[in-house]
Structure 1
Amino acid sequence: MARLTPEQLEQKIHAVLREQPPRRAPMSLESRVLGEIARRQALPWWHKSYAYWPQPMRLTFLVIACGLAAAAVLGSMHLAGLFSAAAITSFFEPITSAVATLRAAGSSLGELVRPLVPTISTQWLYVALAVIGASYALLVGVGATAYRFLWHPQR
């Protein structure tokens, strides 16, 4: 028998597989699949995967989990004697002052922009939204093109 190239071998295998009769599924398969789908749909959200949780519950869980993790890390460091409670407070002081500064800046910017908002035409708002949407589409397109040419293996 002559040696076949990979393409010829692939064609022969596909030809043999196409000649095979289709296999029949068991008679009970449809009822079992539909029963499993119904069972999964009947589960409450907290028994399902995290992706199926309602958005507010996911956010609440994320905040609580991050808070507990931070408390565990800081508590274990405090118990280990690495630093005191005053050190923890002084560690977070720049963050709280930055949040207060951002809050004040946002409030000032809001007071500055508030008188201008009623004078802006809705047409300009739609144009601005269209430009932002087009910019995002362009960004995604450039990113996909860069991936295709720079990182995706050439065939």
Structure 2
Amino acid sequence: MTRYATIETSRGAMRAELYEKDAPKTVENFEKLANAGFYDGTKFHRVIKDFMVQGGDPYSKGGDAAKGPVGTGGPGYKIKCETQGNPRKHDVGALSMAHAGKDTGGSQFFIVLSEQNTRHLNGVHTVFGKVTEGVDIVPKIAQNDTITKVRVSGEAAGTKGT
């Protein structure tokens, strides 16, 4: 069964195939957070043209959720990188785990806008999925656009839907 993430934003919805075989713990973590509503209402707090868009920081919700500077928040734990033996690259649309150093990821993720400008991230950040529908939305995302909802579901081979 293939896992898919539906990422609804203020710019439109995207669908990403998740690479459970290549990054099982990262996909498991993302799914747990997504289906618990962790990402709902967060913002794309870091947007760099021709590079990537980054979201998933709970501090970006503001109000009582802002327990520190935006860009430093997470779920309260860290996960290990899954780069060794992972053949996935930072192609356009790749979904990758953000971190502040090896094995410090948690909830923040980014979506690649340019393969050429992200090659140096291969083998450093865990690629755990790829936007397969709504890829045209990604370059339209602006700083502080909202992630309204993220959910992960599975599909049996040959079916489509969430």
**Rg larger in structure:** 1
Same fold (TM over 0.5): no
TM range (shorter): under 0.3
> Taking structure 1 as the reference length, what is the TM-score of the superposition?
0.16
Q: Which has the higher strand share?
A: 2
| Structure (1 or 2) with the greater helix fraction | 1
The TM-score with structure 2 as length reference comes to 0.15
